């Protein structure tokens, strides 16, 4: 069954990248529901290499602060939650549990380049599922790449080996659709992007 | 407004990766609707680096055939559509049009490593938006990484510089949810993946 137009609007057409946040907190149950949805999105061999840190406390926000670019600083400190979307390059150690049908661990163990590429690709897919799941739950999102990945890795993942990928602010926006849009007027022109072979 | 449970089910909980296809074709209007939804998903500076090839004709499927891994061959040849999700490492040449607010082209031109990372990350996000948009439109998906990227690039993008990322079969599955599931029983355990900082 296709989704109705209103649901498609919520996910895609009227959704925006948000920068101004109300103080309304995002409860634990909402974060759990978010994870429980996004984890169902498809990844290669169910590898699920993404790792998520939900940064909420003032102390944790302060650990994030030195890594943020100037343009992303104020909005990120104000957001009820900032998700660090990361990935584990050693994700394959979980494959005997996540994909027991085959010896999938052996596809990646000892092939660092393939493991890194697979972790980055599939961890990024899961980051997109997080954005879509958040919108499906009625949350507003502000995804960003403007930060120092090495500083985040040092502050949050020292000794663990996870790598930060991108950040997503979550909460209730002060600029709901219809008021302020951060979307540029120009969308990619489909005629220049689609080739039918 | 959050989506209702049925819509969340369609996108996440009851969706599966499909391998067996009916002959029902996917009309042009459906592919256009798919693109018109997915293009609204957020990318860094609206960079929209993904490029999509919708492979449908027997001739085009034959060009794809030599690049497919054995396990992905039969289902891909049978799928009504196979999307090559690719990206353009020179995406930044479009930024003066897609992000006219700033000289965003200068952030990437001359920095090949940053351009490649940005194209791969954001092109992958758009591939996930394609999966979610397809499900939102009632299509079944079968995403895959098991193919020879270099062969696909040579067969479809020679001289153009685009790079294949992953493939997505699209159509109507013969195994609708409730009959055959390809999802492993084990989902990642949230307690091992979520750290609340």
- Distance in Å from the first CA to the final CA of chain A: 28
Mean pLDDT for the stretch of residues B40-52: 97
Q: Count other C-beta atoms under 10 Å from residue A14's C-beta.
A: 16
Structure tokens at B150: 């270099």
pLDDT of residue A175: 81
**Contacts with B119 (C-beta within 8 Å, 6 or more apart), sequence order:** B47, B49, B87, B88, B89, B91, B163
pLDDT of residue B1: 85
B26 touches chain A (CB under 8 A): no
Mean pLDDT for the stretch of residues A30-35: 97
pLDDT of residue B197: 60
pLDDT of residue B190: 55
pLDDT of residue B62: 98
Structure tokens at A113: 């380049």
DSSP letter at B146 equals -
Contact by Cβ (8 Å): A24, A80 = yes
Backbone dihedral angles phi then psi of residue B87, each to the nearest 5 degrees? -145, 160
**Chain A residue whose CA is closest to B1:** A138
pLDDT, one tens digit per residue, over A91-138 is 999 999 999 999 999 999 999 999 999 999 999 999 999 999 999 999
The percentage of residues in chain B with a pLDDT greater than 70, rounded to a whole number, is 89
Using a CB-CB distance cutoff of 8 angstroms, which residues of chain B are in contact with residue A100? 184, 186
| Strand order across the B194-196 sheet | A140-144, A163-171, A81-87, A50-55, B194-196
Q: Which has the higher per-residue pLDDT, B87 or B197?
A: B87
B184: confidence class by pLDDT, cuts 50, 70, 90: very low
The residues in A 104-123 lying below 8 A from B, measured between CB atoms, are 118, 120-121
B178 touches chain A (CB under 8 A): no
pTM: 0.92
Q: Count other C-beta atoms under 10 Å from residue A115's C-beta.
A: 20
B73: confidence class by pLDDT, cuts 50, 70, 90: very high
**Chain B residue whose CA is closest to A12:** B40
Spatial CA neighbour of B197 closest among A52, A159, A158, A91: A52
Mean pLDDT for the stretch of residues B168-174: 96
**Chain B residue whose CA is closest to A134:** B2
Contact by Cβ (8 Å): A16, A52 = no
The percentage of residues in chain B with a pLDDT greater than 90, rounded to a whole number, is 87
Mean pLDDT for the stretch of residues A2-19: 96
Contact by Cβ (8 Å): A96, A105 = yes
The percentage of residues in chain A with a pLDDT greater than 90, rounded to a whole number, is 87
- A29 pLDDT above the threshold of 80: yes
Least confident residue range of A124-133, A162-171, B111-120, B180-189: B180-189
pLDDT of residue B181: 39
B188: confidence class by pLDDT, cuts 50, 70, 90: low
CB contact under 8 Å between A187 and B40, yes or no, is yes
Q: What rounded mean pLDDT belongs to chain B? A: 92
A164: confidence class by pLDDT, cuts 50, 70, 90: very high
Nearest beta carbon to residue B39 from set A60, A125, A188: A188
**Contacts with B151 (C-beta within 8 Å, 6 or more apart), sequence order:** B66, B67
Mean pLDDT for the stretch of residues B117-131: 98
The residues in B 74-93 lying below 8 A from A, measured between CB atoms, are none
- A30 pLDDT above the threshold of 80: yes
Using a CB-CB distance cutoff of 8 angstroms, which residues of chain A are in contact with residue B60? 197
pLDDT of residue A190: 56
Residue A175 CB burial class (10 angstroms; 0-12, 13-18, ≥19): middle
| Strand order across the B140-144 sheet | A194-196, B50-55, B81-87, B163-171, B140-144
B115: confidence class by pLDDT, cuts 50, 70, 90: very high
- DSSP letters, chain A, are -PPPHHHHIIIIIS--B---B-S----HHHHHHHHHHHTTS--GGG---EEEEEE-SHHHHHHHGGGB-HHHHHHHHHSSEEEEEEE-TTGGGGHHHH-TTTTTHHHHTT-HHHHHHHHHHHHHHHHHHHHHHHHHTT-EEEEE--B-HHHHHHHHHTTT--EEEEEEEEE-BSS-TTS---S-SPPPPHHHHEEE-
pLDDT of residue B175: 81
Which value does ipTM take for this structure?
A: 0.92
Quote the CA–CA distance of A48 and A94 in Å, as a whole number: 9
């Amino acid at each position: 069954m296709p989704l109705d137009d209103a649901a498609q609007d919520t996910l895609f057409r009227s959704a925006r990248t948000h920068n101004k946040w109300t103080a309304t907190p995002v409860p634990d149950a909402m974060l759990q529901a978010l994870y429980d949805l996004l984890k169902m999105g498809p990844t290669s061999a169910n590898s699920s290499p993404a790792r998520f840190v939900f940064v909420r406390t003032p102390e944790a926000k302060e650990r994030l602060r030195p890594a943020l670019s100037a343009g992303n600083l104020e909005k990120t400190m104000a957001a009820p939650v900032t998700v660090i979307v990361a990935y584990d390059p050693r994700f394959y150690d979980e494959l005997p549990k996540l994909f027991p049908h085959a010896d999938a661990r052996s596809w990646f163990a000892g092939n660092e380049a393939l493991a890194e590429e697979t972790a980055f690709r599939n961890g990024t897919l899961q980051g997109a599922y997080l954005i879509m799941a958040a919108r499906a739950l009625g949350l507003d999102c502000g995804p960003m790449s403007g930060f120092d990945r090495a500083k985040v890795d040092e502050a949050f993942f020292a000794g663990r080996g996870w790598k930060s990928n991108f950040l997503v602010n979550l909460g209730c926006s002060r600029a709901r659709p219809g008021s302020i849009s951060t979307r540029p007027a120009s969308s990619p022109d489909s005629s220049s992007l689609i080739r039918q072979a």
